[in-house]
Structure 1
């Protein structure tokens, strides 16, 4: 389970986001990271039961680095204020549509997944599928249990219509999405509960049909 002390580390890091403080508190970071890895490992073991292509995935390959890439950013804070993990075949860099989980202070921990920042080719495939056969997607994302769990719909949208589609298209609201992913945020008290890993695994089970839909659409070898 996630130790409240791990959240306290993230809160203090947020206030002291500099290399000097980080090095002075290196053991605290190591302990907090180990706690997150241990919890994420429990999640991964549960996911292997529902997604066989995760069987040979090493949990360490799933964990995001805490260092920020500041080369082209005006924000020069060196560290992320959260711990994150991407669960895909081989780890976080699978290239597929995977599950994403992070813990963050101020009740911003979350589980999510879906179509985020797709290539122009994949976005075209997504819109074409909506045009030809919208019901398959709508059945997945309008499912009662799915929407009860994933109560946030995210993604950039066009203000008008995408090129090549009529403004009066019956699915114009779906066609406007340039991204379409779903999130569930959790309070710190929820994350620190004993069986919280089961809550995350439940969410992944609900999200999996949508993930599979996208992977089958985007990747010929899926």
Structure 2
């Protein structure tokens, strides 16, 4: 049995010692943990790739996010995120096209995610709304599929009213109010610590969310990330 105990223990320690001294003193441990995390990602790529070939050529090290926090505009000045994060999308960790989001945290903070998490890309929001106008029944069918509803409910930033320019009487008017559309699946520590069980559950859940991601990516097919 593969265990994620080292990852778990490291995240607990980092949460309890969220300072630069501890972080740098434990560099070797951090490297080991990051390697184990990349091994998890590679195994997910291998197994998700069976039903979604768009991610097969991704490299794990290109999909992870830094633990260093930008504290300039935050009341919380702790320098590190005591979690491990990765996004397995057709274009790597870019948020669009949407893909499979992995968030590992101790004390039952672990979850899997899919969809568009941010409403900061106004063009993307408009693309999805326009696609829903034309394909709303298809989206509702995905959201109401029994196996999907058993695990997920739609989340995202939402307006109080149907946005200007859209019919307030549209059958999917409630879905048009969203500025982002995403889903999450929580995983408890017991499953996380059992590496084999964790991979098996993650692959199962990512397969269930694939039609949801596919719908959004069809809407976003012409989207181009803003140039910096």
Structure 1 contact 59–91 (Cα < 8 Å) conserved: no
Match of 1:208 in 2: 210
Does 2:164 correspond to 1:163? yes
Taking the aligned partners of 1:6 and 1:114, their CA distance within structure 2 comes to 26
Residues 52 and 105 (structure 1), Cα distance of their counterparts in 2 relative to 1, 3 Å cut: same
Aligned counterpart, 2:102: 101
Please name the residue that 1:177 is paired with: 178
Task: Name the TM-score, length of structure 1 as normaliser.
Answer: 0.90
Q: Where in structure 2 are the equivalents of 1:61-72 lying within 5 Å? A: 61-72=62-73
Instruction: Please give the secondary structure, in 2, of the residue aligned with 1:101.
Output: strand
Distance 2:181 2:54 in 1: 24
How many angstroms apart in 1 are the aligned matches of 2:29 and 2:108? 21
User: What secondary structure, in the 3-state scheme, does the structure 1 residue paired with 2:84 have?
Assistant: strand
Number of residue pairs matched by the alignment = 220
Q: TM-score, normalised by structure 2?
A: 0.88
8 Å Cα contact 1:161/1:175 also seen in 2: yes
Shifted more, 50-59 versus 12-21: the winner is 50-59
1:90 shift after superposition: 4.8
Given the alignment, which residue of 132, 137, 142 partners 1:135? 137
Higher mean displacement: 183-192 or 164-173: 164-173
Aligned pair partner of 1:218 in 200, 217, 220: 220
| Change over 3 Å in CA distance of 1:54–1:130 after alignment to 2 | closer
Question: How far does the alpha carbon of each residue in 1:134-164 deviate from its partner, in whole angstroms, 9 at most, with x for none?
Answer: 11101111111112122x4321111222112
1:58-96: CA deviation from partner (whole Å, max 9, x where unpaired)? 111112122122344343221111001110235213731
Aligned-partner Cα distance in 2 for 1:149–1:24? 40
For structure 1, the 5+ residue unaligned runs are none
Matches within 5 A, 1:82-121: 82-93=83-94, 95-118=96-119, 119-121=121-123
Structure 2 unpaired stretches of 5+? 224-228
Aligned in 2, Cα 1:153/1:96: closer, same or farther, shift over 3 Å?
same
> Residue 132 of structure 2 aligns to a residue in which SS?
helix
